[in-house]
Each structure stands twice: as C-alpha cells, then as structure tokens.
Structure 1
Amino acid sequence: MNLLSQLNQQLFQWIGGGFAPNPSLLWMASHLAVGTSWVAAIVVAVAAWRRRADRRYILAACLMAAAAGMLTHAFAALLDQPRPFMVGLSPLWVPHGSRGSMPSTHASVMFTVALCFLYVPRLRPIGWVLAALALLTGWARVYVGIHFPLDIAGGLILGSVLAAVPVLIGKWLHHVRAARSSQPGTA
C-alpha cells in the first residue's frame, strides 16, 4: 500500500463512521450525504431568480458544475479507486454504486459552484453558504462510507480549477472590451 493510500485510510478511520458509528451522527450524515446537494441547488436557483444582473454568471457557474460532473466520472473511471465500503472499512450506510471514488462528484460540483460565487464580491455571502453545504456534504459522504477524505479533497481541487474558468473568461472579455474602446475611432 502506498503512502497516499495509507494516509487516506488513516483519515477515513478518524473521520468515517466505520462499523460502530455514533447513531445520531449516522442519522445526520445519512441525510446530509444525500440532501444537501438539493439544498444547494435550491440556493442557486433562488439566487438566479432574485439576482437578474448575475444570471449569466450563475448560468456559467452551473455550466462549470456540469463540466465538473462529467470530468469526475471520467477521472473516476480512469483512476478506478475503490470506496471505503468496497475495501471493508465500513458498511455502506446509504445506497450507492460501486464505481471509482476519486474525485467525489458531489464535492467537485458543489465546490465548483461555491467557489464561482465566492469569486464575485456581490455573490460572496451566497458562496459562503454553498461552501458550507459542500463541506458538510463531503464530511457526511466520508462518514457514511461512500468516500475517502482525499476523494473530497480531489473534488475541491477540481472545483477550484473549474471555478476559475468563468472568472478568467470575464477578465479576458473585460480586457478585450477595454482595448476596443481605447482604439481611435471607436467611441
């Protein structure tokens, strides 16, 4: 077993519920592992509905989240890392498939959207709510034996990269517009 796998298993044994979880934490984690992504989707939908000026940006964030979902499935198939319940570290406390676990799709998608919101000052308060939901979901999915902690970290890393895309495109477009408006004869 390599050093990364050892670290992942040690972290899982520290964070995960394993075979003797606290019943209250298991109940809470089971609900958070599935439900918080729906809460996050509602938060994003309400933000898009209430913040007309930011709708294009929010749509771009959602497109990046869709890209995150597709990329995580491709990476998971390529890396084919087993999940904690697949290697006997925990029973499967909530229903889930057995495809590769690295990176976490939930973490990638949720962190992508949260970080997109955090990049924009006027959306930052909503971004903090979405980031908290992503962290809770990540913890819960580890606790119930679906993911290793480094699967969640991988989702955060992928989400960070993808969340930068709309920001970089926006800065590039701003630069292009500024360059065009400063040219002679374009006023």
Structure 2
Amino acid sequence: MFFFDLFLFALINADAQTPLFSIQLARVLSAWTPNISAALVLLALLFGSPAVRRTMLMLLLSMATAWAITRLIRWGFPAPRPFQLEMGTLWVQHGGRASFPSQHASGAFALAMALALGVTRHRKALVVLGFAAAIGICWSRVHLGVHFPSDVIAGALVGSIGAVIVWNATFWLRRRRYLRAVPHIKKLRLRLRTQ
C-alpha cells in the first residue's frame, strides 16, 4: 500500500450513501467489459481482414505478456486486498488472492495500448473506446472495494508496458529477419544475372 492509497480509496470506494446506480454501473463494467471485449476480439479474429487479424493476435500476445508480468509481481510481492485489511466496503464476492497489480487493469490496458499501437489513424474512435473501457474497469475495481488505487495504477502500467514490449519485439524481429535476408537476396540476384 502506498501513501496515497488510503485517501483515494476512501474517496472512490462506494459506501452505504453511494447511489445504487453507481454500484451497478461498476459491477457491469467490472464483470461484463472483459467478456464483451473477448467476444469482439474473437469476432475480429474470425471475420476481420488479414491486417485486423494480425492486430488482434498482437493484442492477445500483449495481454498474455501483461498477465505473465502481473503473476510474477504478485508471486514476488503478495499484497492484501482492502477487504482483507477490513477497509472500505466490498460490493462483490471475491477471493483473497494477492491484489498488486490488478489483473483486470493490466489486461484492459494491454488491450487498449495494443489497439493504440496497431490501429490505423482512421479508427481512432476504437482506441478512445479501448482506453475509456480500461479506465472504467480500473475505477470499478476500486469503487467495488476489490483493489486499492495503487493496484489499478500498477496494472495499467504493466498492461501498457507489456503491449509496448510485444510490439517493439515483433518490430525488431521482423526488421532483423529482413536485414538478414537482404544480403542473401542480393547474392542470389547476382548469381542469376551472371548465369
């Protein structure tokens, strides 16, 4: 837990005076946004153009990378959830697994960042929607009492960094293969010309 967690958690976590609409919205964002996102990614993989399918595969690889990084951090630094410390109000049933960083936040931001890195400039609305959904998920996890603010902030960073790592590694590998192939192609052309 960080120095700002107590103040921000008390500010964001829903209590008995919070309107029911706000709690229901947080439940929907927390539970349904990942499922809807998964369905849309699956549809894009099945019916999208080759470029869209490549972007979706990179998106899934980014999310898998963020998941692995999150699991490693949780294993190395297990942190309790607010309700385990008897803080705030828990509005959904949840297990007592480690909370830092947030798995929901890391996956959501990996998806949003992968979209930002892979979507063409004509589909900026999709990128804005991805980041809006990711921010909504982060808010909902704190609002429902499942995470501290530092958990979702760390998850957002892990997800974003995971996507950047995947995209940069892929670019580097493509470029390296291309650079290795160029001298061989030039030699082959020279041999064909001389024969």
Provide the rounded CA distance (Å) in 1 between the counterparts of 2:84 and 2:15.
12
The alpha carbon displacement at 1:50 in A equals 2.0
Provide the rounded CA distance (Å) in 2 between the counterparts of 1:186 and 1:157.
46
Partner of 1:127: 127
Superposed, which structure 2 residues align to 1:1-187 within 5 Å?
5-48=2-45, 49-122=47-120, 124-180=124-180, 182-183=182-183, 184-185=186-187
Q: 1:77 to 1:21 in 2, by over 3 A?
A: farther
Secondary structure of 1:154's counterpart equals helix
Q: Unpaired runs of 5+ in structure 1?
A: none
Number of residues paired by the alignment? 184
Identity of aligned residues (%): 29
Which digits, 9 at most, give the CA deviation of each residue in 1:89-134, with x for residues without a partner?
A: 2232111111111100011111112101101242654332222111
Provide the rounded CA distance (Å) in 1 between the counterparts of 2:17 and 2:95.
22
Deviates more, 1:149-158 or 1:37-46: 37-46
The alpha carbon displacement at 1:137 in A equals 0.9
Q: Is the 8 A contact 2:119 2:127 kept in 1?
A: no
Q: Is the 8 A contact 1:64 1:163 kept in 2?
A: yes
The letter for the 2-side match of 1:75 is I
Q: Is the 8 A contact 1:64 1:162 kept in 2?
A: yes
Q: Is the 8 A contact 2:81 2:96 kept in 1?
A: yes
Q: Is the 8 A contact 2:114 2:163 kept in 1?
A: yes
Secondary structure of 2:115's counterpart equals helix
Provide the rounded CA distance (Å) in 1 between the counterparts of 2:11 and 2:141.
14
Larger radius of gyration: 2
Q: 1:88 to 1:20 in 2, by over 3 A?
A: farther
Deviates more, 1:122-131 or 1:24-33: 122-131
The letter for the 2-side match of 1:12 is F
Secondary structure of 2:4's counterpart equals helix
TM-score, structure 2 as length reference: 0.83
Tell me the C-alpha RMSD between the 2 structures.
2.1
Deviates more, 1:155-164 or 1:56-65: 56-65
Secondary structure of 2:55's counterpart equals helix
The alpha carbon displacement at 1:85 in A equals 1.7
Provide the rounded CA distance (Å) in 2 between the counterparts of 1:151 and 1:15.
13
